Amino acid sequence: MTTIQSALTLYGSPLSQPVRAVIWLLLLKKIPFELILMNPGSKGEIGTRNPNFLKKNPNGTIPFLEDNANDVAMAEAHAILVYLCRKNAWFDLYPSEPAKYTKIDWYLHAHHRGIREASLAFFAPNVRKDLVFSETFLDNAKKMFRRSLQSLEQGWLDQSRFIAGDSRSICDLAAYVEIGQLRPQFTNLFDFEPFPNVKRWLDDMAATDSHDEAHTSLTVLGDISVKAPGINTIKEANKRGYRAVMKLQSCYR
């Protein structure tokens, strides 16, 4: 039997927010890829802190992408999203005109100390039991997230339907994987009622192609607002998330 190596290899796990953004983009564009399941923070065989993985990515983070045909290997979700769009001329999601892509870049850079706090403040304390957070740290992360959400509510999403304009771009994917994970239909960790523009945008994003497959892991994880999930639920969520991604891919391989 001959196996065909995918042009793209993505190291990650479906429950990881930045990994999900890359998975979603590749599914949206119907680009086949190999997904190598990783365990964030672990030194074990498939861990991001294993010496073999650290040789690839010294920062020990996922997502990590190898574009085998082009001898490209890279980390950082937003760099990967931009790379894939530029290389494939996906101008619908990352336009070529500076006036348009600068707004997307602006959001993507701001996201890291703002909206990404959604994970630090709400998700990781429930799911990443290997990480220890002080109350002060968590309070600050929650404040930072609320402030950033407020700026999306009043400064970005009241100007346009999506974050950087009236059509979807990669910054909407990057933002949704963080903000969307807290919705009542997923982890149920945040009350969006005071944010009507964000709520409208969340609904628009949930209607985007491949949303459900990219977010299957979160559906399996379920509401974690009352009780933190056990390790078996987390493993099952990643496994079923992986299967959903592979099943959708098999339709266009």
- Which chain residues interact with ligand GSH by CB under 6 A? 16-18, 40-41, 48-49, 60-63, 76-78
Burial of 104 (0-12, 13-18, 19+ CB in 10 A): buried
Which lies closer to ligand GSH via its Cβ, residue 69 or residue 131? 131
Which lies closer to ligand GSH via its Cβ, residue 47 or residue 222? 47
We find the least distance from the C-beta atom of residue 235 to ligand GSH, in angstroms, to be: 15
- Distance, in Å, from the CA atom of 32 to the CA atom of 58, rounded to the nearest integer, reads 26
We find the least distance from the C-beta atom of residue 236 to ligand GSH, in angstroms, to be: 18
We find the least distance from the C-beta atom of residue 104 to ligand GSH, in angstroms, to be: 15
- Measuring CA to CA, which residue among 147, 152, 179 is closest to residue 163? 152
Which lies closer to ligand GSH via its Cβ, residue 74 or residue 160? 74
We find the least distance from the C-beta atom of residue 166 to ligand GSH, in angstroms, to be: 26
DSSP string covering 78-108, please?
A: HHHHHHHHHHHT-TTTS-SSHHHHHHHHHHH
| 3 state SS for 107-151 | HHHHHCCCCCHHHHHHHHHHHCCCCCCCHHHHHHHHHHHHHHHHH
We find the least distance from the C-beta atom of residue 25 to ligand GSH, in angstroms, to be: 13
Which lies closer to ligand GSH via its Cβ, residue 195 or residue 220? 220
Which lies closer to ligand GSH via its Cβ, residue 48 or residue 195? 48
